[in-house]
A and B are shown apart, each in its own frame.
Chain A
Amino acid sequence: MQTTIRSILQQLNTVILGKEVPLKLALSCLLARGHLLIEDIPGVGKTTLSHALATTLGLKYSRIQFTSDLLPADILGSAVYERESGEFHFHPGPIFSQLLLADEVNRATPKTQSALLEAMEEQQVSIEGKTRPLPNPFFVIATQNPSFQIGTFPLPESQLDRFLMCIQLGYPNAAAERQLLAGNSGRERLNTLSAVITTAQLLTLQQQVSEVQCSEALLDYLQALLGFSREAPHFASGLSPRSGLGLLQAAKAWAFIEGRDYLLPEDLQQTLPYVAGHRLANPQSGEHYGGEALLKLFHEVAIP
């Protein structure tokens, strides 16, 4: 299995240069059966990442560009009257895919946003009295512009909570950028990619991730971390039990990618900033903590 993981990462690295950690995080988020939120300025490769991920994992991919006039039906699909048959026929929306890229999700109105987010949570959509299941696996990558930009509707806390992880890509380093400018990667290469694994293999990987061993000692540490987030004065409110479960699952996926079948405290530390970052806010400013700064706060928790 490790060779599979390695070749997936290898292929992704040829498309997104110099971003090993975000790529690994994105992959572990997917293996942990969670949805991913990428928060960054336009043009750092968010779309390329999701497209590459979909192709590499052999997933049916679709993309919605969110705008302020996007309606829920544009995402979910709608019943259209067909003149030949004289009947209404359901035309599924782009959400009926295995990997959905919701680009610039915070540009849409809250009504449209919540249509997407409900589908993410339920793994099914109800349209015109009929419940239709979404395909399995179903994985949403949403991108979001930093909220200080004009014309955005920031996602409320409750909806941010639907995303397992929130990562940032950031600017590439000098070497990677040079390579990019030299034309050795990018969108052109996307078309040359082929799937490394099948959907069935992906489901097996997800199964294996959930079987990663978790010792009592590690649960002690996890609980100490959760307890700290609830007690410490740095946070407006603590991590919910769902976040705790998510953190555990993400850490398992991280450990699995690292090639282990057991969890270490480091796995929690590695994934904690991305699982908790969009959930914990500074009580004074109301802003969310970024990766490293958040982890520093959790350094107060000793590993039991």
Chain B
Amino acid sequence: MIWWRKQKPAHYREEQQVAPSNGIIWLLGALLLVLIPHLLRQPGWVVTICLIILGWRLLSELNRWSLPHTVFRLTLAAALLSGTYLQYHTLNGLDAGTTLLTLMLCLKLLELRTLRDATITILLGYFLVLSGFLYDQSILSGLYLLAVVVLLTAALLVLNHPDDNREMQRSRYLKSASTLLLQALPLMLILFILVPRIPGPLWALPNSSSAGKTGLSDEMSIGDISHLADSDKVAFRVTFSGEIPAAEQLYWRGPVLWQTDGRRWSALNKNDLLNSLAAPEVAPLSEPIEYTVTLQPHHRRWLFALDLITEQPDNSVLRREFLLLSEQSVNEVYRYTTRSALNYRNDQLLMQEYERAIQLPSHRNPQTRALAQQWRQQAASDRGRVSLALDYFRQQPFYYSRTPPRLESDDPIDQFLFEAKKGFCEHYAAAFVTLMRAAGIPARVVTGYQGGEYNELGDYLLVRQSDAHAWAEVWLQGEGWVRVDPTRAIAPDRIEAFEDQYRFSETRNDALFNPDTRWMARAWLQTLRSWDAANHQWNQWVVGFNQKKQQQLFERLGMGELNISTLVGLMTLIILGFLALLSLYLLYQRQRVQDPLQQAYQTLCHQLAKCGVDNAPWIGPKQRCQQAMFKLPKQRQEIKSLFNHYIQLRYTTQQKPGEPRAFIQAVRRFRC
């Protein structure tokens, strides 16, 4: 009721006040955690400098060393600026920007003295936390950064409570910081759901070094890679409307490689005539199946579909070679629904296609071409020549290896087919297509993903980067383009790596583990799958919460289509309403007594008020007791003992006779 307005004394103003030592130590701890995920992505020298500065600042705080001179700081800043420029050849862009921000944040520590500096540093810390999401939007990184935000907020609290006793209250600061964040949660949810989403990304993400780190590329080079990148990262997840097809039918089509110089295989040139032609009409031979793909950002335009796509999703382009492309590069989680026929007949072959599908450098890989010529005479039909080639792979001692020897000669296919005889899908696909072309059969290499792992919990198929694959397509008279996977022709006992047995076995999980440890492995697998299912939901509803999802949500809530101005209006209204409710609640809280004893007493007064006893706040307990006894003569005794108990508890200072709990319970029982 009575308000005392306190004026901050001049010496307490932030600009002049020196930041308390314990606050700075908190700040350094929080900053270290902010920096860790960034440092993992930074070049070594940045990491070293940051850690040195953090460590030095900690020591200087503990030992009360003075901060470095302005000239030194300016020189260091200039040096780090040029270092960043030398590293990235720009100061713009995601990587250079983050490096610069990280370095400058560390430099700021060298002049951190006043409370104002510390506050600025913490705000920068929040900003750096935010920039972490430009790299990684997974659940784990979200949780980590949330914890970091709690710590930063706690540091802010410590800095602003300079007089408090330090050691005792560590957990109290963390607790109040968490409470603060929890209180912000409703506002965050309102903003998350209602802020109008813009179709497409808010800003074009600059091409960062992390882009293109997928299992796929639009060119391959035989023999250069001696080690296949084995990344467990998720490529995409697929939900089928109906049954999931058998694993050997799951060929997710990606870039098609036509051009070769004997070693390097690449896709058609950007302005190739064929790329401007629409996809031909294809006759589906089986009922098309429908499915929805949730694609992880890979910073390219490729969308993946099962062979062979019959219905094109919105905002996409379908090339004549049946490569599906989105209109922009996929920089965030992207979802599309499409249909494919697993059996089909794609038998159109243009002259231009024939030319490109038969092209071979004339002076390379002579042995291979000789072998193909030999088969050309042996078999009468193209079909027969394909079988001869597959038989060759099957009968000769070919091995599947993820770490094949390098093929350094000028004729790498010759070297692979006749000497090394070890390789992975790319080798087999390239060698097979070379053989076919040499035998006069139009052929091309198709890259993409094969198979996938079924997640029962989420009822979806998970395709990883390690499922990346390359296979071949040959054009046969009367049959059209036919898929041939030469890697499958290798005898199962010649597969070196254990994981690859997994890849080629039809019944995967059961063959994978021996019976003794199967239950353990299963449990582990189950855990992994639940985790992936959670990730899937996260992608669907958090990362992938776009305009479409937002509209869907409102439609489901029965609000129909909302345009942007309605959304903004609604958002403002809800936030204002929320704040109004909050302030009412706080006002109520102020009036309400926190003490449970007082709360119970007020309950009692309210009870009595219902029976006509004056509830004016100025009436004391004794007087109220008399009024109540007068009004309710039947309950005189009960009322008297209740009030006496209350008076004893509240107004005597001796040892309390009985817990307030007894009184509280008595009040709960009391009815008039």
Query: Residues of A with Cβ closer than 8 Å to B?
Result: 213-215, 217-218, 224, 227-228, 231, 261-266, 269, 298-304
Are A218 and B651 neighbours in the complex by a CB distance under 8 Å? yes
- The minimal Cβ–Cβ distance linking A292 to chain B, given in whole angstroms, is 14
Are A262 and B1 neighbours in the complex by a CB distance under 8 Å? no
Are B621 and A265 neighbours in the complex by a CB distance under 8 Å? yes
- The minimal Cβ–Cβ distance linking A270 to chain B, given in whole angstroms, is 10
Are A303 and B653 neighbours in the complex by a CB distance under 8 Å? no
Q: Complex Cα distance A265/B646, Å?
A: 13
Are B2 and A227 neighbours in the complex by a CB distance under 8 Å? yes
Residues 613-635 of B, flagged 1 when their CB comes within 8 A of A and 0 if not, give 00011111111000000000000
- In-complex Cβ contact of A224 among B1, B598, B651 (8 A): B1
- The minimal Cβ–Cβ distance linking A117 to chain B, given in whole angstroms, is 33
Looking across the interface, which residue of chain A has its beta carbon closest to that of B4? Answer: A227
Are A302 and B652 neighbours in the complex by a CB distance under 8 Å? no
Are B650 and A269 neighbours in the complex by a CB distance under 8 Å? no
Given A217-B651, A262-B651: A303 in contact with B2 (beta carbons within 8 A):
no
Q: Complex Cα distance A41/B218, Å?
A: 114
Q: Which residues from chain A contact B593 at a C-beta distance below 8 Å?
A: 304
Are B654 and A264 neighbours in the complex by a CB distance under 8 Å? no
Are B652 and A228 neighbours in the complex by a CB distance under 8 Å? no
- The minimal Cβ–Cβ distance linking B435 to chain A, given in whole angstroms, is 95
Q: Complex Cα distance A214/B647, Å?
A: 12
- In-complex Cβ contact of A269 among B598, B620, B647, B651 (8 A): B620
Given A227-B2, A228-B2: A266 in contact with B652 (beta carbons within 8 A):
no
Looking across the interface, which residue of chain A has its beta carbon closest to that of B597? Answer: A217
Q: Which residues from chain B contact A269 at a C-beta distance below 8 Å?
A: 618, 620
Q: How many A-B residue pairs have CB under 8 A?
A: 53
Given A217-B650, A217-B651: A264 in contact with B622 (beta carbons within 8 A):
yes
Q: Which residues from chain A contact B623 at a C-beta distance below 8 Å?
A: 266
Known contacts A228-B1, A262-B647, A298-B618; 7 further A-B pairs (Cβ under 8 A): A214-B653, A215-B652, A261-B652, A265-B621, A300-B618, A302-B1, A303-B620
Q: How many residues of B contact A (CB 8 A)?
A: 18
Q: Complex Cα distance A245/B654, Å?
A: 22
Looking across the interface, which residue of chain A has its beta carbon closest to that of B593? Answer: A304
Looking across the interface, which residue of chain A has its beta carbon closest to that of B647? Answer: A264
Q: Which residues from chain A contact B620 at a C-beta distance below 8 Å?
A: 264-266, 269, 303
- In-complex Cβ contact of B653 among A213, A300, A301 (8 A): A213
Looking across the interface, which residue of chain A has its beta carbon closest to that of B616? Answer: A299
Top 4 nearest A-B pairs (CB, nearest first) are A302-B617, A265-B620, A266-B620, A227-B2
Q: Which residues from chain B contact A304 at a C-beta distance below 8 Å?
A: 593, 598
Q: Which residues from chain A contact B650 at a C-beta distance below 8 Å?
A: 215, 217
Looking across the interface, which residue of chain B has its beta carbon closest to that of A268? Answer: B620
Q: Which residues from chain A contact B618 at a C-beta distance below 8 Å?
A: 269, 298-303
Query: Residues of B with Cβ closer than 8 Å to A?
Result: 1-2, 593, 598, 616-623, 647, 650-654
Q: Complex Cα distance A143/B653, Å?
A: 38
- The minimal Cβ–Cβ distance linking B547 to chain A, given in whole angstroms, is 53
Are B2 and A224 neighbours in the complex by a CB distance under 8 Å? yes
- The minimal Cβ–Cβ distance linking A299 to chain B, given in whole angstroms, is 4
Q: Which residues from chain A contact B616 at a C-beta distance below 8 Å?
A: 299
Q: Which residues from chain B contact A231 at a C-beta distance below 8 Å?
A: 2
- In-complex Cβ contact of A266 among B598, B617, B622, B653 (8 A): B622
- In-complex Cβ contact of A262 among B2, B619, B652 (8 A): B652
Q: Which residues from chain A contact B652 at a C-beta distance below 8 Å?
A: 213, 215, 261-262
Q: Complex Cα distance A299/B618, Å?
A: 5
Q: Complex Cα distance A228/B3, Å?
A: 11
Are B651 and A264 neighbours in the complex by a CB distance under 8 Å? yes
Q: Which residues from chain B contact A224 at a C-beta distance below 8 Å?
A: 1-2
A-B contact pairs, 6 of them (CB 8 A): A227-B2, A262-B651, A264-B622, A302-B618, A303-B617, A304-B598
Q: Complex Cα distance A263/B2, Å?
A: 23
Q: Complex Cα distance A301/B618, Å?
A: 6
Q: Complex Cα distance A263/B623, Å?
A: 14
- The minimal Cβ–Cβ distance linking A71 to chain B, given in whole angstroms, is 47
Q: Which residues from chain A contact B654 at a C-beta distance below 8 Å?
A: 213
- The minimal Cβ–Cβ distance linking B594 to chain A, given in whole angstroms, is 11
Given A298-B618, A300-B618, A303-B619: A263 in contact with B651 (beta carbons within 8 A):
yes
- The minimal Cβ–Cβ distance linking A223 to chain B, given in whole angstroms, is 9
Q: Complex Cα distance A276/B444, Å?
A: 105
Looking across the interface, which residue of chain A has its beta carbon closest to that of B3? Answer: A231
Q: Which residues from chain B contact A261 at a C-beta distance below 8 Å?
A: 652
Q: Complex Cα distance A303/B619, Å?
A: 7
Q: Which residues from chain B contact A228 at a C-beta distance below 8 Å?
A: 1-2
- The minimal Cβ–Cβ distance linking B616 to chain A, given in whole angstroms, is 7
- The minimal Cβ–Cβ distance linking A125 to chain B, given in whole angstroms, is 39
Q: Complex Cα distance A214/B593, Å?
A: 20
Q: Complex Cα distance A269/B617, Å?
A: 13
Looking across the interface, which residue of chain A has its beta carbon closest to that of B618? Answer: A299
Looking across the interface, which residue of chain A has its beta carbon closest to that of B650? Answer: A217
Q: Which residues from chain A contact B647 at a C-beta distance below 8 Å?
A: 262, 264
Q: Complex Cα distance A300/B647, Å?
A: 22
Looking across the interface, which residue of chain B has its beta carbon closest to that of A295? Answer: B618
- In-complex Cβ contact of A215 among B598, B617, B622, B651 (8 A): B651
Are A215 and B621 neighbours in the complex by a CB distance under 8 Å? no
Are B653 and A262 neighbours in the complex by a CB distance under 8 Å? yes
Counting chain B CB atoms within 10 Å of each CB, which of A214, A224, A231, A264 scores highest?
A264
Q: Which residues from chain B contact A227 at a C-beta distance below 8 Å?
A: 1-2
Q: Which residues from chain B contact A214 at a C-beta distance below 8 Å?
A: 653
Q: Which residues from chain B contact A264 at a C-beta distance below 8 Å?
A: 620-622, 647, 651
Are B653 and A215 neighbours in the complex by a CB distance under 8 Å? yes
Looking across the interface, which residue of chain A has its beta carbon closest to that of B591? Answer: A302
- The minimal Cβ–Cβ distance linking B317 to chain A, given in whole angstroms, is 74
Q: Complex Cα distance A302/B620, Å?
A: 9
Counting chain A CB atoms within 10 Å of each CB, which of B2, B617, B623 scores highest?
B2
Q: Complex Cα distance A133/B2, Å?
A: 43
Q: Complex Cα distance A263/B652, Å?
A: 8
Counting chain A CB atoms within 10 Å of each CB, which of B617, B618, B652 scores highest?
B618
Q: Complex Cα distance A158/B315, Å?
A: 90
Q: Complex Cα distance A179/B623, Å?
A: 32
Q: Complex Cα distance A301/B622, Å?
A: 17
Q: Complex Cα distance A108/B605, Å?
A: 53
Q: Which residues from chain B contact A213 at a C-beta distance below 8 Å?
A: 651-654
Looking across the interface, which residue of chain B has its beta carbon closest to that of A214? Answer: B653
Looking across the interface, which residue of chain B has its beta carbon closest to that of A262? Answer: B652
Q: Complex Cα distance A298/B617, Å?
A: 11
- The minimal Cβ–Cβ distance linking A34 to chain B, given in whole angstroms, is 23
Q: Which residues from chain B contact A218 at a C-beta distance below 8 Å?
A: 651
Counting chain B CB atoms within 10 Å of each CB, which of A214, A228, A265, A298 scores highest?
A265
Q: Complex Cα distance A261/B617, Å?
A: 24
Q: Complex Cα distance A213/B1, Å?
A: 26
- The minimal Cβ–Cβ distance linking A295 to chain B, given in whole angstroms, is 9
- The minimal Cβ–Cβ distance linking A192 to chain B, given in whole angstroms, is 37
- The minimal Cβ–Cβ distance linking B596 to chain A, given in whole angstroms, is 14
Looking across the interface, which residue of chain B has its beta carbon closest to that of A269? Answer: B620
Looking across the interface, which residue of chain B has its beta carbon closest to that of A218? Answer: B651
Looking across the interface, which residue of chain A has its beta carbon closest to that of B626? Answer: A266
Q: Complex Cα distance A213/B649, Å?
A: 13
Q: Which residues from chain B contact A263 at a C-beta distance below 8 Å?
A: 651
